[in-house]
Structures are given as C-alpha cells and as structure tokens.
Structure 1
Amino acid sequence: MFNRVAIIGLGLIGGSLAAAIRAHGLATTIVAGARSERTLERGKLLGLIDDGSTDFAEAVKGADLVFLAVPVSSMADSMAKMAPGLSGTVIITDGGSVKGKVIDAAINCIAEHISRFVPGHPIAGKEKSGVDAADARLYQNHRVILTPTAQTDTQATERVRALWAAVGAEVLTMAPDEHDRVLAETSHLPHLLAFSLVDTLARQGDSLDIFRYAAGGFRDFTRIASSDPLMWHDIFKENRDSVLRAVDLFQQGLAGFRQAIEQGDSDDMLAIMTRANSARAHFLALSARTSYTAALQLNDDRTNAIASDNTAMSNTVSSGHGRRVEFHLQPGGALNGSLRVPGDKSISHRSIMLGALADGITEIEGFLEGEDALATLQAFRDMGVVIEGPSAGRVRVHGVGLHGLKAPSGTLYMGNSGTSMRLLMGLLCGQPFNTELTGDASLSKRPMERVAKPLREMNAAIATTGKGTPPVHISGGQQLKGIHYDLPVASAQVKSAILLAGLYAEGETSVTEPAPTRDHTERMLAGFGYPVSRDGATSKVSGGGKLSACSLEVPADISSAAFFLVGASIAEGSELLLRHVGINPTRTGIIDILKLMGADITLENQRDAGGEPVADIRVKSARLKGITIPEELVPLAIDEFPVLFIAAANAQGDTILHGAEELRVKESDRIQVMADGLTTVGVENEVYADGIRIRGGQYGGGEVYAHGDHRIAMSFAIASLRATAPILIHDCANVATSFPGFAELASAAGLNLSVVED
C-alpha cells in the first residue's frame, strides 16, 4: 500500500499503528521520528520500525505517508521541524484529539502540503502508554474519525481511509468543528467533572472519611480522575471553547435538576432521570454494538468495560455498528409445551402514543420491549413525556394531554419502525412545532407518500425525499381540516395516521378502507374515552375531544405466535399451547389461512383484555394441503406471509397468493427475498408481481440471506423443522426489532437453533 511510512511520535498510538502496518504488510519500510534515541532503539528492538531519527526532517525524507502521533500541544512544533524533509507528494495524517488546533497548525507550518493533509483521530487506547505498550491489534474493531477540510484532496482521504480499514478499524467522517464539539461533550467534560468533584471533596476537612466510606458509584464515576493531569491540562487548553460550551450546557442542566429538587417537582425529576436512564441504555447499545434490548441485559462489568472513555466519542458519532448475527439450525425436531410470546407490537406502539396524549397516568402491562416499540417510546420522551420503565413489560406514562407535547431538541429517530414513523406523521402534523423523522438504512428506503398525501389534503405541511422516502419533515402550526378519505389500498398504518391527525382537525375525519385491516387504533381510542364511530368499512373521529388515562394489558402478539403456529403444524409430533394471544378479528388471517390448509388449531379460554379479544391457542401437527389464498384474507395476514410461505413449502400441492403487493415494500421485498431463500433450500416457486406460487414437498438446507428482515430470519428458522440438511441464516440482528428472546424461546420449545454473533 505504501513504500515508506514515517511515524512521528513512537508512543502507544504511533507504535501501535507501526505494529499494525508491519503485521498486515502495508508498507515496505517503516521509520520513526522521536525526541529520544532510547525510544527509537526500543522501537527497532521490538521490530516496530526499520530506522529512525531525532531529526524529524530526516525521519520523513522519502516517505509517502507521515503519521503524526504527538500531543496536540506539540503538533505545530513537530510540523515545523519535519516540513523541510517532506516530499511534494507525501500524504500526512495525524491522531490528535482536538482537530481545530491541529488544522490551524498545518495551515501555518505545512501550507504547501495542505491538500494532502488528512486530519484524523483514532478512538483507541490502553491503561499503559509508551512504545512498549504498542499493540498491532489496538485498532481492530475501534473507530477512527477522519475530519478532512475543504482543501483536503479526496484521493488522499481515501488512501488514509483504506489504511485504517486495512488494520481493522471502522472509519467514519466528521466535520472538524463537530468533532471537537462532540468530543468536548462526551469525553472532555466527564474528565473535567471527575477532576473537579474529587478535588472539591479532597479539600474538605473530613475528606479522609468521605473517601473511606464512599460508595461504588463514587469510585466508578471518578475513575477517570486518575488520568494524566498534564495531558488533560493540554486538552482543556487546546479545546477551550468547546469545553467551555460543554460546561455551560451542563450547568444549565444541573440548575434545572436543582430547581426540580428544590421545588419538589416530581414530574421534572422523573423526566430528567428517565431520559437519562434511557439515553444511557442507548449509549451502551452503541458501545457494545448490539441492540438496545440486548444492552439492557448486559452485565454491568462488561458494559463498563465496553463503554470506556475512548469509545464514548466514536459511539456518539455513529448510529450504531451492525452486529453480524447468524442463526445456525440443525434439521428436524418438534415443538412442544406451553409458552407466551412477547406483547403485541401494534398495541404497544399505540399504548405509548395514546397514553402520552391522555390526561393522567396510564399503566401498561405486557409492553413489548423490542426495538420498534422502544423507538416510539423514545420519541415521546424526546417530546417531554415522562415515561417510567419499561421493566418486565410494565410502563407508566405520565400523559400531557392532546396539546402538551413539546418540541424535540433534535431529529426523532425511528430506527427500523415503519409503524412509528407513519403513525407519528399523522399525530405530529397537528402540533405547533416542526419535527423531522428519520430512520435506519432500511426504513429510509420505504414509502411515506401514501401517508403524506391524505395528510396534505387535511392541510398538513409534510415533505419527503424526491423518492417519497424518509427523512420526513413536518412543519407545525397548521390548522388541520377534517376530510373523508377512501383508502386506495388497505393499510392500517395509513388509516391510523389519518385518524390520529383527525384528533387535531376541525370537524369530522373519516376513512373508508377497501378491505378490513387491524382496528387497534379505533379500539384503543375508545378505551381512552375518545369517541369513535364505526360504520361498516368506515371509521370516524371528530377533533376537539380528549383522552383519559387508563390501565391496559397488551396481549401476546399473534404475529410472533405465527412462527410457532406454523412450526407446530409442520413438525410431526408437535403440540403447543400459546397463552394469552390477541385474536382481534382484523389480525386472525394467519389462523384462518392455516385452517384452510388443514391445520389443527383450537382457541381456548376466550376472553377480553382491555377491549382486545384474547385466547389461549392450541396447535397440533397436521398434514397441510396447498390452497389458493382468498384475497379478502390477505390484509388480515400481511405481516405473517413469510412464515405462511414456509407452511406452503410443507403442504401437499401448490399454494397460490395474489393481491399482496404490500409485501414488496416491507423491511425487505418479502416476496422476492422469501422466493430466493426457498429456491436455495430446494423449494419450487414462481414469483408474481403481487404474489407467489409455492409447490410443497421435501427440501434440503443451505445458506439463506435475511437481508436484515426479522420475519425472513425467523421464518427460515422454522423451516429447519422439516429440512433434511442444516440451514445457515445470515443477517439476523434485527430479530430484536419485533421478537426479543426468539432464539431462547424457540430453542426451549424444541428448535435446534444456535446463535453466532460478533
């Protein structure tokens, strides 16, 4: 990759890069510049460098890459000393933690090379320092922030990016001033507070007793006060403006917390602490490169180790590095026993939304603690709603009323949740403030115009991208007007968004759907005391009402139960009892279709739970037959079709589906992705624009790609029950979005499943 690399500063950072370059064969020759001959001799003895010099100009002669690994306060002096030896084509980069000062030094000292200067900051470290601590693996799975300026040559940046990637780092890009601001807030400020707290207590007359009896929290928080004072003295000086802004921001927050305590304002105190609790969980998720839900279960020692001060910065600037998660399945097995799947995702979303808009405190049991529902919960926290929990499915929402939401301080991030984004579009277009809704890479490709179009007819001001996808910009302060809207395609999300906007509209808002869709929004509005009129296929609300807090229990999600309904149906010798499953008639298409195929399913102990019908569902293995799926059942099972395709693969004869275009615009193109997987394991199929034909019969195994779609991953896991060879499923991390604990629950029931992740 490079002929001659020069490292200026042979401590931990520079020495580790030299070791990594050597280990990966990325340079023919490695030389170093250091102030100490002893350091250079040690570097040669350890095999890190081929040669070195205390004369920096001499050290960089002939180098096609120079890496500056000296303190920020020494950057200008080091650049000036090496400048006479730099070639006209050399690329220069650095590892300084404050980019503004480093860039200023480069402009002043190496101006003729400024187009080939690529400012950078590797986020890695160790307790030990110096050349003897050099470690070729230091940068593996750590982040490196590049902060190129407007003058930086793109090719130079790409070569530096390629070098860091080659030694195992994840390379990100930021603007220099943004880097310094974020670093000040997430790394410099915590160190400043730790130094200040320990110093303040140490100056008390009884400091010995204070430290003797200090609890573990004091030890953990003040650990970073043991850092090198000289180094942090330099950092605070070099990044002074950003550090002072961070201190001011903290003082404002501290003053608000003090005022809440002084005035005994329980709501404010809870709001601060629940937001902080949630934010830390998200931080740990990013630090551990795992899901939010998995982070909540991580051992504290592990998370403390992962969430070190060095990684804090990198995790603040990244939306999360995706884990590689694979499902490994052995063929065969049966499903038996009694189990309860997680709470219904659709109802969990709406319980938070309506609880937040209600007057009073709403108590929720059975809340689904998956990524999607938590995205909704976090959005309302960001808009000033106090939410306690979730804890073992229990949540308390301190409602603010229909007009009590506050403007969020930033973008509302919906992760992978299309339900969150589409329903919030309706709810937010009636607010007095502006909002922006974003999501992950998958959600950012999904259509939002079918929601935006009817909302614009209500006088909402909504903008999407040119492709009709997120981010979604909503301008507040619009007076909405009630409309009647005939849905062109059956969609519970579009219907719900319109009805939620209708709560803020003048007059009556009504929606007529071409086929029945889930009616959770209508049922739950009524449960919160808001009048809803339903006449056949039309639902109506009028603006100007109010919601009253209530207690509700979220039933188990039939979409999650669907995997076990199919699994127990196809695996000989199976008998499962699925407890407390929601059987809302707009959601039972999966049961109706399986029964038409010959499944042995019975509903037991039918009852009502907070306006939603529930039952225990018993399913036994049965011989399935292929059918032509009635189109009127398609909207009632739209989310369950991936696993229904697996049922079809195990049925006698052909199963034919039409009228399911909606499957093309889910988390993936579920028709094509499922067809590809079925072909891989040996199931004959024919794809249509709006559906598929599947011929049932014996099939084998193979490698299947879920494309980040949780339902694809879980469906092929169920397929293993009748496979004749192992199945490997790639890209399964998003299973946590809809079904946390799936692997454990399925394994306990009898699935031969193991999870491999890194």
Structure 2
Amino acid sequence: MTELNKVVIVGLGLIGGSLAAGLRAAGVCKKIIGVARREETCSQAMSMGIVDQATTDLASIAGELGKGDIIFISVPTLTVGGIVRAIKNSVNGDVIVTDGASVKGSVRKDVKDIYGYFPPNFVLGHPIAGSEQSGVEASNPDLYIGHRVILTPVEENAPAAVAAVRSMWEWVGAEVLEMDVDDHDNVLAATSHLPHVIAFSLVDTLAHDSQNENIFRYAAGGFRDFTRIASSDAIMWRDIMLANKDSVIDAIDLFASNLSRLRAFIDQENATEITGVFTRAKFARDRFTKMLEHRAYSKSMQNSEEKNVVYTVAPGGSVKGKIRVPGDKSISHRSIMLGSLAEGVTHIEGFLEGEDALATLQAFRDMGVVIEGPNKGKVTVHGVGLNGLQAPTGPLYVGNSGTSMRLLSGILAGQTFSSELTGDISLSKRPMNRVANPLREMGAVIDTAEEGRPPMKIHGASKLKAIEYDMPMASAQVKSCLLLAGLYADGASSVTEPAPTRDHTERMLRGFGYSVQREGNKVTVASGGKLTATDIDIPADISSATFFMVAAAICPGSDITLTHVGVNPTRIGVINILTLMGANVELENKREVGGEPVADIRVQYAPLKGIQIPEEQVPLAIDEFPAILIAAACADGKTVLTGAEELRVKETDRIQAMADGLTSLGIDCETKPDGIVVNGGKMTGGSVESFHDHRIAMSFTIAALRASGEIRVNNCANVATSFPNFVELAKKVGISLEVNCS
C-alpha cells in the first residue's frame, strides 16, 4: 500500500470522522484536513486530534492541494453535487476525488452534469459500515476494520487514481471490492435500502395502531433488532430513497408481490408452500452468513482467490477402527434431482451435506421446489412433477460441482424457461461440450464460453427429439445427462457406452417407477412416463471410503472397517484394483438398501505389488485413481494406468497433478496422454499442490503414512465439497493431521 500525502475529508460525521481517525491511527498521512459546515464541528475534530487542520471553506485550502492528494466527500447523497461543484471551481484537476454516498448512479450523474465529462481522477466509492451513533464525536478509528468498501470505477477512471483510493481504505483495515455502478445500486436497493423501507414502514404502521397500545411495551427482542434501523437518520434515508428511486421501487414491488403470495398461502392454509417460503428464506439467510464470512455480496465482487487451507501431515503411524464415511455423493445428487421431478413427497436419509450436493439442492430450491433439511442427513423433497419446475430468478450457481452442472443441463434442456448454469473459478475452466454437443443434437439451444466452458446458457422452449448416442468416452455424467434429457424428448433415447459406468441414474429412475431398458451397453428411456415419490436410504460413498481403504492397505499394522458402504458393481473398481495389487480387502454384511448393494468393507495391511491396471476397471474407479496412485507409489514394482483420458478433465488434470506431487515426494513417474506409469519406491516429505482438487488433497494426506518426512498439502479448502468431516475421521483413525490457513 502506498503512503498518502494530504487527505481532505469533506463532512466530519461518523463516516468521514472515522476515516480521519483511522488514517491518524495508521500514521500514513502527512496531513489530514477536515471540512465541515459548522465551526463547532471543526473545533471538536481538532480537539479530538483526528485532523491536523479544519475549516468551513473548502476553497480556502484548495491551493494547498496537488497531485496525489485525495479529497473524500462524506455528505448525504443529494448534497454531493454542491461539493462537486465547489471542487470543480477551486481544486486542481490532479487531485484525486472520491466519495462515500450510498447511491452511485446519482453521484455519477452529478459529476458528469457539473464537469460535462467524467474526470479520470474522480473515483466513486461506498463504505459499508456504520453505527447507531452519529456526528464527529462518534468517530471510531476501528470502524472500517474487517468491513467492506465498494469502489465502482467507471471506464474513464485513471488506474492510478483507483489504486490510490483503494490504498487509502486498506490503510484503515477495510476490504476493498469493485462493482459496476448500476449493479451496486441494484444490490444496495435490495440489501440495504429495502430493509430500511420495511423497518420505517413497519414501525410507522404499528406506532399508529390505536387498537393495541401495548405493541412496543411487550415487543420481543427480534422486533427490536429488526426495527433498529428505523432509528437511522430520517432525512439521510429520505434522500437515499429519492436518489435511488427506480431500484428501490423495483425492490419494493418484488417484495410486495412475494408478500402477497405468502398472504395467500396463509389464507389457504397451504402448509407446503408456507414451508417452502420459510425454508428457502432460512437457508438463504444461512448462505448469506457464510458469504459475509468468506466472500462478497455477489460473484462479481468476489476476490479472485480464497484463503489457502493447508493440511500438514506428520509421517508414519497406522489407521485402525470402525467408521462410517458420509453418504454417496452421486446418489445424493440424483436423489434431489429425481425427488424434485417426482409426484409426491420423497424422504431421504444419509444425504451428503457437502458443498457439491448442497449446490444441487439449492438449484432446485431456486426453481421453486420445497425442500426441508438437510438435518443430519435427512431431507424431505416435495416433488413438483416432470413439468413443475419454475424459472429461477437468476443464474443457478453450482460452485465446484461438475456433476451438478452436467446433470442439470440435461434436465434444463427440457424446460420451457431459459436458464444459466455458473460455477466457481475451478469449474469455469472445465469443458462442458461433452454434454452440450449431444444435447444440441437433441435440439437444445445452448451457449457456452470459449472452448465449451461455463457458464452454460440453456434457452427454453426447445422441442427435444430422441437421440441414439454412442459415447466416445465412458462417462456416467454424460450418460446421466442424456437420460435425464430423454425424459423430455419426443420418443425413446438411447445411450451406448464403450465400457460400463456407474448406473445410479438408471437404478434410481426405476426406484421412482420410471421404465429403463438395458441391452448390453445400451440404455434406453422413453418420454411420457412419470416419477412417483419414494423413500431413499443413501449408502456411504465408496469414493470417500477409498482414502481410508488405501490408507490401511499401505500402512503396516492397519486394520479398518468402513460401514454401510455402497458397493454398486459399477463403482467397485477400486476394490478390484486393490485386490489385484494384493490388498487384504473383505466385504462383510452384504445387503441391499433401496435397490443399491451395500456392505461393510474391512481392509488390513498387506504388501502391495505393482500391476497393469485392466482398462475395463478404469470407468469403475475413475474418481478413485488419485488415491489408487498413492497405493501404486507404495507398491513393489511398476503400476501402469492406461485408458484414463477422463482424468485430465476433472477438477484439475489429475494425471499431471498426481505425477507432479509424487515426483516432488521422490517417486518416479511417467505420464501418458491417457494415463501414468508409477514406479513404487520410498516417499520423502515435502510440499505438494492440490490445485484446489479435493481428491488430490485427500490422497496426499494419506500418503504421509508411508513418507519419511512431513507432507504439506496446499489449497485443501475444496475437500468440503465432497467430504466435510474428512479431517475429523482422519484424526479419529490415527492420521496426524493439522489444518491451517494462510
């Protein structure tokens, strides 16, 4: 951050005075000058020591200002224009000017009207901070620490001016973000201005309720907290409403419409719809709380990088015990999707409460489905039928979940409304043409970014026709996408896979009463049927169990049992491969739950040997290969993996990521276009990069059991996407793991 020369603060109320106090405390300004309307305010600011000089006449100090100095305008929105006019008439154009008004469109218009153009050194801004107190006496040097300041640069702005204003706010501890002017005013209308409208109106309404004089006397704490903002400066908020009139009216109209709908639901005693409103609100509020903790108000405001979550794992040890890993992620996704499209109420147990599956759940909530939970793995889905989804009000954000995006695209292709699927930085780099192109062959109109990457914009009202699709590469996600689209297509759609892939979609469609035909590697569904709600008990995820299976297989003295694990024949490639390598794996207590085979898996240590992995096993273990490659590194001899091109287009290029990490730990590897050769050996300690891929992160965590030194795994935050309690279970069975953020 660059140190500052002179800063002039016009308006020494809470906002301006706190900036002065914060800059004074930071000791980064050669001179702080205050400008106020009243002499008393100037005198008080001087006596408090927050300014070096104070005046009621901006023009009187204009001659002192030059290049690099900053003027901060901290006055009510509708009075900014008068200050801007005074600055134009008296201040050198090299001086940087910024403001703190809460409506940026109004200030932008004032500046253009007064100057006749937009000066490059005028940077619009808005500090999101405040207090119930006001006036210079409320100045607080810590007011901005940990709070956000939104800058709304315009095209004409000089980058150096924006950087200087950013630096000023960072010196007082603020998190500085950037937004478009119009986006800012729309967002603030909804998140700040509308709540003030509601609070002022509610208190005004109840204050004049002559029928109940005890309303305020016996009001609970929630009423007090909600209406606190009605104690704000009435004149200031009047001006904000007028300055941001159009956006505020739009927000009021939307709220009034939704309030009217809720009134109708209550009048009709429609318990399901009331539950839907309250449930959506609860989880939206919970999500908002997380956003406040980790990221900004909207995607356009997010920082480009999250904090680096680091796993530090001590070498050696063994794993022992009996644990149950979270529910199967693939089945969790599909239970929400098909439950939402079914007629009736579906009860789910064992739902995986990880970020990926929750992204799918939220997408269907955003399309009008009433979903209760999750609560300790229990979810209730009030299905709307195949044609009952509603148009979302904005893009459907699925975070890091490729499964959500690919499978949802098949469902959305058959809807009458248009939609957009977006994801996080990692997902936005992953190819989607593998589903987009065959969907286009079915008649869907889909736009993607360059090279078929997200976002995916799916145009509604496209009449889908049936398809007979030969998949060039085995992929359960592509197969499932096309089968789901086939529910809406005209006729019977078939998908032929070059090798068997997980069949959860077919099994679950049958469980919901929908006919699915299979002939060899060809799967067919016809449109015209319906899904009937059912109850689902989701088994533990074999992909999550894999990390502990491999941990026990590589580490002498280990003996672990993983309970209630799904052992679908299309998912047990990892068991087959580890067995071929010599692992001691037993399936106990075999049974069937909800159409899915389940067992307890016991793994005891046994020496492993390198093998040529059979290509027919590759699709059955595609997600488990990062962990399997750790087993290969600990085996005696060479392990060869081929036919695994799909690993290069997962959350990251998993072949290269594993090769890089293993090489850094002293293991000899050779990558191929479709696989990798791993020569077993002795692993050293070291630092490895997960590339924000949860499976890479967890795989190198268990590698430390056989390493000679500590392993540090970088960028592990995404482990929460598939395995939220991984760290807890790892420690429970004996892995010495510490988590830090940097």
TM-score normalised by L of structure 1: 0.91
Q: Contact 2:132–2:231 at 8 Å: present in 1 too?
A: no
Q: Check if 1:277 corresponds to 2:282.
A: yes
Q: Which residue of 2 aligns with 1:299?
A: none
Q: Contact 1:88–1:113 at 8 Å: present in 2 too?
A: no
| Mapped partners of 1:384, 1:569: distance in 2 | 46
Q: Contact 1:286–1:319 at 8 Å: present in 2 too?
A: no
Q: Check if 1:743 corresponds to 2:727.
A: yes
Residue 649 of structure 1, aligned match among 612, 623, 633: 633
| Mapped partners of 2:47, 2:308: distance in 1 | 38
Q: Contact 2:93–2:121 at 8 Å: present in 1 too?
A: no
- RMSD value, Cα: 2.5
What letter corresponds to residue 661 of structure 2 in structure 1? G
Residue 190 of structure 2, aligned match among 141, 161, 185: 185
Which digits, 9 at most, give the CA deviation of each residue in 1:312-358, with x for residues without a partner? xx468645873442222222232222111111111111111111111
| Mapped partners of 1:754, 1:219: distance in 2 | 42
Residue 216 of structure 2, aligned match among 211, 218, 231: 211
Q: Which residue of 1 aligns with 2:37?
A: 35
Q: Which residue of 2 aligns with 1:669?
A: 653
Q: Which residue of 2 aligns with 1:529?
A: 513
- SS of the equivalent of 1:194 reads helix
Q: Which residue of 2 aligns with 1:510?
A: 494
Q: Which residue of 1 aligns with 2:229?
A: 224
**1:42, distance to aligned residue in structure 2 (A):** 5.4
- SS of the equivalent of 1:424 reads helix
Q: Which residue of 2 aligns with 1:405?
A: 389
**1:209, distance to aligned residue in structure 2 (A):** 3.5
Q: Contact 2:466–2:490 at 8 Å: present in 1 too?
A: yes
Percent of aligned pairs with the same amino acid: 58
- SS of the equivalent of 2:119 reads helix
Residue 714 of structure 2, aligned match among 730, 738, 750: 730
Residue pairs, 1:321-340, within 5 angstroms = 322-340=306-324
Q: Check if 1:114 corresponds to 2:98.
A: no
CA 238–507 in structure 1, closer or farther in 2 if over 3 Å, else same: closer
**1:564, distance to aligned residue in structure 2 (A):** 0.8
- SS of the equivalent of 2:107 reads helix
Q: Which residue of 1 aligns with 2:264?
A: 259
What letter corresponds to residue 36 of structure 2 in structure 1? A
The alignment of Structure 1 onto Structure 2 pairs a total of residues equal to 736
Residue pairs, 1:699-738, within 5 angstroms = 699-738=683-722
Structure 2 segments unaligned to the other structure (5+ residues): none
| Mapped partners of 1:74, 1:108: distance in 2 | 14
- SS of the equivalent of 2:216 reads helix
**1:464, distance to aligned residue in structure 2 (A):** 1.4
Which digits, 9 at most, give the CA deviation of each residue in 1:426-449, with x for residues without a partner? 111111221111111111111111
| Mapped partners of 1:581, 1:742: distance in 2 | 16
Which digits, 9 at most, give the CA deviation of each residue in 1:343-377, with x for residues without a partner? 11111111111111111111111111111111111
What letter corresponds to residue 456 of structure 1 in structure 2? R
| Mapped partners of 1:111, 1:26: distance in 2 | 34
What letter corresponds to residue 690 of structure 1 in structure 2? D
CA 623–206 in structure 1, closer or farther in 2 if over 3 Å, else same: farther
Residue pairs, 1:297-446, within 5 angstroms = 314=297, 318=301, 322-446=306-430
| Mapped partners of 1:129, 1:731: distance in 2 | 43
**1:163, distance to aligned residue in structure 2 (A):** 4.5
Q: Which residue of 2 aligns with 1:54?
A: 56
Q: Contact 2:119–2:156 at 8 Å: present in 1 too?
A: yes
Which digits, 9 at most, give the CA deviation of each residue in 1:665-700, with x for residues without a partner? 111111222222223333332222222222333323
Q: Check if 1:249 corresponds to 2:249.
A: no
Farther-moved stretch of structure 1 (34-43 vs 682-691): 34-43
What letter corresponds to residue 59 of structure 1 in structure 2? I
Farther-moved stretch of structure 1 (15-24 vs 350-359): 15-24
**1:394, distance to aligned residue in structure 2 (A):** 1.1
**1:538, distance to aligned residue in structure 2 (A):** 1.1
- SS of the equivalent of 2:587 reads strand
Farther-moved stretch of structure 1 (105-114 vs 650-659): 105-114
Which digits, 9 at most, give the CA deviation of each residue in 1:277-317, with x for residues without a partner? 22112211101217xxxxxxxxxxxxxxxxxxxx8xx4686
Which digits, 9 at most, give the CA deviation of each residue in 1:436-484, with x for residues without a partner? 1111111111111111121222222222123111111212222222221
Farther-moved stretch of structure 1 (530-539 vs 264-273): 264-273
Residue 235 of structure 1, aligned match among 213, 233, 240: 240
CA 216–746 in structure 1, closer or farther in 2 if over 3 Å, else same: farther
In the TM superposition, structure 1's runs of 4+ consecutive aligned residues that sit over 6 Å from their partners are none
Residue 672 of structure 2, aligned match among 688, 691, 700: 688
What letter corresponds to residue 126 of structure 2 in structure 1? H
Which digits, 9 at most, give the CA deviation of each residue in 1:119-156, with x for residues without a partner? 11122334555556555554444322222334434553
Q: Which residue of 2 aligns with 1:491?
A: 475
Q: Contact 1:416–1:442 at 8 Å: present in 2 too?
A: yes
Q: Contact 1:58–1:82 at 8 Å: present in 2 too?
A: no
Q: Which residue of 2 aligns with 1:304?
A: none
Residue 73 of structure 1, aligned match among 78, 89, 95: 78
Q: Which residue of 2 aligns with 1:5?
A: 7
Q: Contact 1:6–1:59 at 8 Å: present in 2 too?
A: no
What letter corresponds to residue 237 of structure 2 in structure 1? W
Farther-moved stretch of structure 1 (12-21 vs 174-183): 12-21
Q: Check if 1:268 corresponds to 2:268.
A: no
Q: Which residue of 1 aligns with 2:622?
A: 638
Q: Which residue of 2 aligns with 1:302?
A: none
Q: Contact 1:708–1:734 at 8 Å: present in 2 too?
A: yes
Which digits, 9 at most, give the CA deviation of each residue in 1:586-629, with x for residues without a partner? 11111111112221111000000111100011111222222222
Q: Check if 1:592 corresponds to 2:597.
A: no
Q: Check if 1:582 corresponds to 2:557.
A: no
Which digits, 9 at most, give the CA deviation of each residue in 1:168-221, with x for residues without a partner? 544333232332222121112112222322333333357563334333432332
**1:269, distance to aligned residue in structure 2 (A):** 1.5
Structure 1 segments unaligned to the other structure (5+ residues): 291-310
What letter corresponds to residue 226 of structure 1 in structure 2? S
| Mapped partners of 2:676, 2:228: distance in 1 | 60
**1:575, distance to aligned residue in structure 2 (A):** 1.5
Q: Check if 1:95 corresponds to 2:100.
A: yes
Residue 613 of structure 1, aligned match among 573, 583, 597: 597
Residue pairs, 1:432-581, within 5 angstroms = 432-581=416-565
| Mapped partners of 2:148, 2:430: distance in 1 | 29
| Mapped partners of 2:562, 2:265: distance in 1 | 46
| Mapped partners of 2:666, 2:174: distance in 1 | 39
Q: Which residue of 2 aligns with 1:295?
A: none
| Mapped partners of 1:130, 1:316: distance in 2 | 34
| Mapped partners of 2:110, 2:727: distance in 1 | 54
| Mapped partners of 1:242, 1:207: distance in 2 | 34
| Mapped partners of 2:712, 2:34: distance in 1 | 47
- SS of the equivalent of 1:106 reads helix
| Mapped partners of 1:698, 1:37: distance in 2 | 77
TM-score normalised by L of structure 2: 0.93
| Mapped partners of 2:117, 2:492: distance in 1 | 69
Q: Contact 1:529–1:548 at 8 Å: present in 2 too?
A: yes
Farther-moved stretch of structure 1 (475-484 vs 158-167): 158-167
